[in-house]
Amino acid sequence: MKKAEGSNQGGGNGTWMCPTQLGQESMLVMEGSGRLDEKSLSNGDVYIGEIKGILPHGKGKYTWLDGTVYEGDWEDGKMTGKGLIVWPSGAKYEGEFSGNYRHGYGTFTTSSGSVYRGSWRMNAQHGIGRKEYSNSDIYEGLWKEGVHEGSGRYSWSGGNTYIGNWKRGKIDGRGVMRWGNGDIFDGFWSNGLRHGSGVYRFAEGGLYIGTWSRGLKDGKGTFFPAGCKHPSLKKWCSSLSNDDDGSNLNSEEHRPPKSKVKRSLSEKVSVSGSLRNSHHISHRTSSLDSSWTRHPPPQECICDDYSRRLPLTSDGGHSEDPDKITWVYEREYMQGVLIMEKTRKYSEVSRKNKWQNKFGVQQVKPSSCVDIFGGSRSYYLKLNLQLGIRYTVGKITPVPAREVRSSDFGDRARIRMYFPKEGSQFTPPHKSIDFYWKDYCPMVFRNLREMFKLDAAEYMMSICGDSGLRDITSPGKSGSIFYLSQDDRFVIKTLKKSELKVLLQMLPKYYSHVGEYENTLITKFFGLHRIMLRGGKKVRFVVMGNMFCTELHIHRRYDLKGSSQGRFTSKDKIKENTTLKDLDLKYEFHMDKKLRESLLHQIKVDCGFLESQQIIDYSLLLGLHFRAPENLKALAEQPESLTSGNDALKQGEQLILPKGLLLVAHEPSFVNTAPGPHIRGNTLRAYSIGDKEVDLLLPGTGRLRVQLGVNMPAQANRKLVEDKVEASEIELFEVYDVVLYMGIIDILQQYNLRKKAEHAYKSLQFDPVTISVVEPKLYAERFINFLETKVFPETP
């Protein structure tokens, strides 16, 4: 019999070809005395052991012609039970087998000296295991199909240690990296690189709290120099742990436990990324204490900042008298390049507003919608929402597709269901509280989802999957609750009763409008629902597309109405993710002639529709992704080449200008077509390359399809303002390359009697042209004029 050589000695997915029967001419004879005879097979293999009929069964030893030897248990001709197999190369496995596979618990030693002890499934490391590599690196934690997956600890022989989450063999999720030099990063990772919010402390004592993208600082952050008083990080770390665990909202029993690794168990992981100043992870790996839990304790929340060598501050690890150091530095980066810095006294930086809420510790405003569930029990609100959506989508999807009828918009077009806690004939048991569910116009929204090219199964899994929903802070004054799906595709918002009525009233015209205009910028609605508790309290929800669903980091968010009265944000309230207003906008955006024409044309069409529905108070939600100039990125990689002082900043401002974003002819096979809220819509044409459909090339990121409101390239020029800039604030550039994301939101406010009264009252106090509340025709004209002349002016 032949055996497939175990070339995948690290525990791959190869299978063994072992004897399933022995021919009559080579059958082993086992006499009553229990004596075993040796018998050679016709292909040169040899088996010695017990048989059952003509199959190996019981204890036995099989030797292949190439020298591979297995000795152990057999069952019906297959290696099953405990055994030892040794390859000619010197590699060996001792442990449990099942059906010719390494399956169960066992120890695998490679010819190079690496040793893995732990769980196996179908020849692959799977479960809890520990691997010590031949170079003395150690990984201990969870495995899946031969690679690191889940919680684990990797120790490099050079002294670096990582404790945290893994995905497909790479560092991914929340985790703590401690470098051999004493620097520590505690935060989020993606594909082996720091990505998201985090805290970085370097050994000399400096502390940086901020955000990263693809391993580089990207966005706003605060730097506390060595010797300066540092904020307490316990609450930050605790909140980070809670936000990261992706709780399964379908059952309390499925909430991620603080699992502990109970035995010593290991495999080699290739972690992508270069070792630049110890910021990326090498192709090596750490050892796990038996008491290690999934989320590191708050006291391990620590970090480094190679930008300490930049000219603006004394970031470096120089110990100074704490009584003399009172300054902290609020910074902003673009792909690792420092673009702005404000110097502040520590006493001016509110620990609550400036660091706790700044990076992921979000405090949702109190709302009557959440109060009905009582504090932390808002968990039940999300659970009820998921249960209801799963039920509705499952019920409406099998219905044969057809065009909507007028009756589909009527009062009878509803799906109602009662969800008792113990379950019923139509609903599953759940861990929430009893509630009544109502789904509005299910056939209409089913057709809208199909119109927007959303697959029903993916839509349901995105919202109702085990990862759950995330709370996000409300950007407005409405007091609404906002949830974000775990994959960032969908936003769920609570509605007032009046808003629900407006949406149902305008739904037939909305359906026609979005059907006619594929590139509409108006909010995409995917579902409208209501939850009612036994006491009669009701919560209404609408599911919308997330306009900022992108892999790029959104550095600025603006809510633009075209009015000026009260349209600014107090500086002490501006945080990393604050949505700014009209008077806060310091830039005007210049773009390709054809792109601008397409954008303004659609804005006018959409405003015409909203005017016809007597809608006001809508706004353009605008997101900016800044791109660092390619020739400036070298400065981020070699910060020591910079000199200190403001003269260097001025010199950089004069010499370093954006190169411009590169537009190329559209190639469908080269761009990402993953399903999501942006999948519908034409690829735009650009005047600059001959009126052809275009893609946007971003060095180091990828190739993006340019659509209306999605991946739109522009150049942001700082406006000339008379206001004096604070002496403590330095911005390095006047012109930036940006990628724009936008859409028209808040379209459910009609110009009713209450709004007319508000207009009359405010007109007595302020210039009527400057206030937000005006009649629909004037509102649309002012909105369009503001965007056309102030935000997206024609390029000279």
**Averaging pLDDT over each range in 33-47, 365-379, 665-679, 754-768, which range is the top one?**
754-768
Among candidate residues 310, 339, 308, the one with its CA nearest the CA of residue 732: 339
Q: What is the mean pLDDT of residues 574-592?
A: 89
Residues with Cβ within 8 Å of residue 171, at least 6 apart in sequence: 162, 164, 165, 177, 189, 192, 193, 271, 281
Band of pLDDT at residue 414, cut at 50, 70 and 90? very high
Q: Which tokens sit at 120? A: 């196996």
- Asked if pLDDT for residue 316 goes beyond 50, the answer is no
Q: What is the pLDDT of residue 676?
A: 59
For residue 330 the two structure tokens come to 């609020």
Q: Which 3 state secondary structure label does DSSP give 712? A: strand
479-509 pLDDT per residue, tens? 788 999 988 899 999 999 999 999 999 999 9
Note the pLDDT tens digit of each residue in 536-557: 889 999 999 999 998 888 999 9
pLDDT of amino acid 68: 94
| 14-23, 65-74, 692-701: least confidently modelled range | 14-23
Give yes or no for residue 776 having a pLDDT over 70: yes
Beta strands in 430-509 (DSSP E): 435-440, 469-472, 482-485, 490-495
13: nearest Cα among 151, 132, 126, 115: 126
pLDDT over 70 (residue 559): yes
Average confidence (pLDDT) over 758-762: 87
* DSSP code at position 245: T
Lowest mean pLDDT among 182-191, 252-261, 341-350, 740-749: 252-261
Q: Is a pLDDT exceeding 50 seen at residue 651?
A: no
* Higher-confidence position of 380 and 237: 380
CA 658 from chain center: how many Å? Answer: 29
Sequence-distant (6+) residues with CB within 8 A of 668 are none
Neighbouring-strand partners of residue 739: 625, 713
Strands (E), 297-388: 327-334, 337-345
Is pLDDT above 70 for 319? Answer: no
Angle between the N-to-C axes of helices 456-464 and 442-451, in degrees from 0 to 180, rounded to the nearest 10: 100
Instruction: Please return the burial class of 516, using the count of CB atoms within 10 Å of its CB with bins 0-12, 13-18 and 19+.
Output: exposed
pLDDT of residue 573: 78
- Please indicate whether residue 30 or residue 222 has the higher confidence score (pLDDT): 222
pLDDT band of 37, cuts 50, 70, 90:
low
At residue 115, does pLDDT exceed 80? yes
> For position 570, what pLDDT does the model report?
84
Determine what percent of the chain is predicted with pLDDT higher than 90.
Answer: 47
Lowest mean pLDDT among 114-118, 439-443, 472-476: 472-476
CA distance 88 to 643: 61
Output b/e per residue, 441-452; b: 16+ Cβ within 10 A: bbbbbbbbbeeb
The closest alpha carbon to 464, from 413, 529, 398, belongs to: 529
Q: What is the pLDDT of residue 764?
A: 84
On the question of pLDDT at 200 being above 90, the answer is: yes
| Cα torsion 212, 218, 224, 226: sign | positive
The predicted pLDDT at position 13 comes to: 35
Q: Judge if pTM exceeds 0.85.
A: no
| Better-scored residue on pLDDT, 533 or 120 | 120
Q: Is the pLDDT of residue 340 over 90?
A: no
Rounded CA-CA distance 683/222 in Å is 39
Nearest alpha-carbon partner for 132 in 265, 323, 5:
265
3-state helix, strand, coil in the chain (%, to 5): 25, 30, 45
Asked if pLDDT for residue 35 goes beyond 70, the answer is no
* Contact indicator for 273, 283 with CB cutoff of 8 Å: no
> Helices in 267-401 by DSSP H: which ranges?
368-371, 378-396
Q: What integer is the mean pLDDT of 375-396?
A: 84
Residues 6+ positions from 451 with CB-CB distance below 8 Å: 514, 515, 680
pLDDT in tens, 261-299: 333 322 333 333 332 333 333 333 333 333 333 333 333
Checking if the pLDDT of 334 tops 60, the result is yes
Using CA atoms of 756, 762, 763, 764 in order, give the dihedral in degrees to the nearest 10: 120
Highest mean pLDDT among 205-209, 337-341, 349-353, 505-509: 505-509
- pLDDT (mean) for 12-24: 41
Counting residues of the chain whose pLDDT is more than 70, the rounded percentage is 72
Q: Which of 43-57, 334-348, 525-539, 779-793 has the highest mean pLDDT?
A: 779-793
pLDDT of residue 278: 33
Q: Is 81 within 8 Å of 95 (Cβ atoms)?
A: no
For residue 300, what is the enclosing H or E element?
none
pLDDT at 795: 83
Q: Which residue has the higher pLDDT, 123 or 654?
A: 123
User: Dihedrals φ, ψ of 691, to 5°?
Assistant: 60, 40
Q: Is the pLDDT of residue 702 over 50?
A: yes
Whole-number average pLDDT of the chain:
77
Closest CA to 661 of 691, 621, 634, 688: 688
